[in-house]
Structure 1
């Protein structure tokens, strides 16, 4: 099968089967957090209910936890196509991991050094670096966006790179507008013009497109598993050669070996169990168990991309028929391969919150606000309530999209 069987996969998600006041809810809130499959829930319960223990014990449940940790690292390596499972580091979430590593990476920065962040990013990949730079007397540059389509201004990035650049932090896809960044182009430019490290926030990108850190040649890449059908867990890829050069902040008795020395305190082992199940769920969409997990993921994402591009084309085509709606981001239906199915828009003379409340009352889950993309909203002048955001995932359907527009027509009728 070359396409997703959406009805079959939806049956695996309890949230998609529930009734709220006699209605089946529609989840267009995926960019804020995805729903989870039953196998993720089962994996977390099975571990926590039978094997809850820490590492290093001489008994069965501790042995099970040690195996779980190794399995989770391998799942992360397969998901990212890392060269080694030892390049996978776990933490509470992407933001916490980034704050932690900003402290480590900035240790050797000197006054007059420079770093680059972007206006397209969620500020979880901006504030940690800006605060570290302030402490070290380091200059911060911010790459602008092209306001016509909310894509990254690559020419501006190129002008900012110099021999003084120590780090470039960049999103792989905007959690607000859905704009995908040509990350290979970014990394080529950075590496050609500096010795800077590249830190990628792929939190929004991960549920929509296949990640390949080896093909990218990045130094760091971070995601949060709850954005791709798993539990609340941060998953960081860190290139082994870079890890060996860095010094961790750790408790003295903890083993000084990679990657363990970067994981402070007891890990969330039940979340690791859920993470493995989430990766396996994604792999299962390939429908061919003869393939390796990485090969299955590659095929699964081909199907996901095909389905989501259909949803994007449908949504953009329908939304463009409303003259009172302004879309922020890529609007061209022919360019759906350059965006995720996440859409930001404003309605003329209407507060975004009023729209999300109307849809929420009808059990269609959408968002409003700034989504922590402060640089984007400041550049676009959207500090007065932000935008309305509708975000599709691979479990959303064309019928749900049509239902959205039925409600949108009802909203406009009430305003007239």
Structure 2
């Protein structure tokens, strides 16, 4: 199918102000359909979920539709879809629930490639019970993770790994790691926040026992989604209020859910599916077609940007064999914060920093300051790239 980026851009009101957005890895812009879905819920008669009044039924429908949408989006059983405030909050909640069964001497594995949201909750949960943290390192030259196998023992309780680095874009071989984890009798917890913004998610193909993502990275509002087999969730018992439901997945959903955000997240999934050719095959098939087109478009623009950065003498830190259209770069003689400001003056949004990937930034020698991050999104076009490279050339 032909990727019509002009038609796609026309559905994003934020782009009308003329700015070029390369800040998608921190949060994407949203199409009109997402805002409309959120407004419709906020202005409708709605209440706490139930089955008696229309307001209760409307809330129930919003939640049911969100679970179904993310069942299709993640390739998972909707009965195992947990909805929450953010990926960080969901990870903290699940890590604490899992740690209830850990003992001193048990072990957890985290990687230096990950966002801190898939590191610190596990480190702190381990510290609270006297468990040991084992660190999986990566090659700072290539961005590729080291081998997981030497770190696994019969005391390993969870392997937390990213499906894509939000800092340098590396997409590790997740399936190889989840197979090793399963072979060692342990669980895998896969951070798909950055991955889900650039590739079709298939939880079963990834082998992830738990997969988490955040809709605001892929054209939706701020919220978090966690997916696992219902049977696994049944075995975990988070702290919760006494009157709240103890059924799965509701037992993990603390407080009243943000119905308007869930409606917006569902609309984002439907928008992405609309990019693909449905042909009556359903939303999952449409999403698969859409991501094929989106990846081709985004990778082409990434290659253009990378070539332009190299021509300008920039150092590019994103060199893994498989990676997202996200580039981390620094330009000799220029502080990254100053480069960011220079771009902002040209109405180009490209932030600088370590973006909560502190361990990764330190590992590649950038300390806590990081560098300039340039991210491509489905609405990025060649004119945006032209503007970016031209502005960088005037430094």
Aligned match of 1:343: 327
- Give the aligned length: 395
Q: Is the 8 A contact 1:3 1:306 kept in 2?
A: no
Matches within 5 A, 1:204-219: 204-219=194-209
Please, what TM-score do these two structures have when normalized by structure 2? 0.98
Q: Which residue of 2 aligns with 1:16?
A: 15
Alignment map for 1:62-211 (pairs within 5 Å) = 62-82=56-76, 84-153=77-146, 155=147, 157-192=148-183, 194-211=184-201
CA distance in 1 between partners of 2:165 and 2:338 (Å): 24
Aligned match for 2:316, one of 327, 332, 348:
327
Instruction: Say if 2:12 and 2:32, in contact at 8 Å, map to a contact too.
Output: yes
Partners of 2:245 and 2:178 in 1: how far apart? 33
Question: Which residue matches 2:275?
Answer: 285
Distance 2:333 2:116 in 1: 28
- Larger displacement relative to structure 2 (296-305 or 236-245): 236-245
Q: TM-score, normalised by structure 1?
A: 0.93
Structure 2 counterpart SS, 1:152: coil
* Alignment deviations for residues 304-363 of structure 1 (CA, whole Å, 9 cap, x no partner): 11111111211122222123x1111217xxx5xx11111001111321100001101111
1: distance between equivalents of 2:201 and 2:256?
28
**Where in structure 2 are there 5+ consecutive unaligned residues?**
none
2:89 aligned counterpart, secondary structure = helix
Q: Is the 8 A contact 2:48 2:59 kept in 1?
A: yes
1:289 positional shift: 4.8
Residues 220 and 384 (structure 1 numbering): CA distance in 2 closer, same or farther, change over 3 Å? closer
The answer to whether the Cα contact below 8 Å between 2:312 and 2:393 also exists between their aligned partners in 1 is: no
String of CA shifts for 1:188-231, please: whole Å, max 9, x gaps.
12122x11110011000111000001222211111111001001
Name the CA distance, whole Å, in 1 between partners of 2:275 and 2:19: 23
What is the match of residue 29 of structure 1?
A: 23
Runs of 4+ residues deviating >3 angstroms: none
Counterparts of 1:123 and 1:86 in 2: how far apart (Å)? 28
Q: How much is the aligned-residue C-alpha RMSD, in angstroms?
A: 1.2
Paired with 1:189 and 1:57, the residues of 2 have a C-alpha distance of: 45
Which residue number in structure 2 is paired with residue 21 of structure 1?
none
Maintained 8 Å contact 1:51/1:65:
no
CA distance in structure 2 between the partners assigned to 1:181 and 1:252 by the alignment: 41
Task: Report what 1:272 is aligned to.
Answer: 262
Whole-angstrom CA distance in 2 between matches of 1:112 and 1:3 = 55
Structure-2 separation of matches of 1:126 and 1:274: 28
Distance 1:385 1:127 in 2: 19
Uncovered stretches (5+) of structure 1, i.e. residues with no partner: 19-23, 412-416
SS of the aligned residue for 1:50 comes to coil
2:369 is aligned with 1:376: no
**Contact 2:167–2:326 under 8 Å retained in 1:** yes
- The SS at the match of 1:111 is coil
Aligned position for 1:234: 224
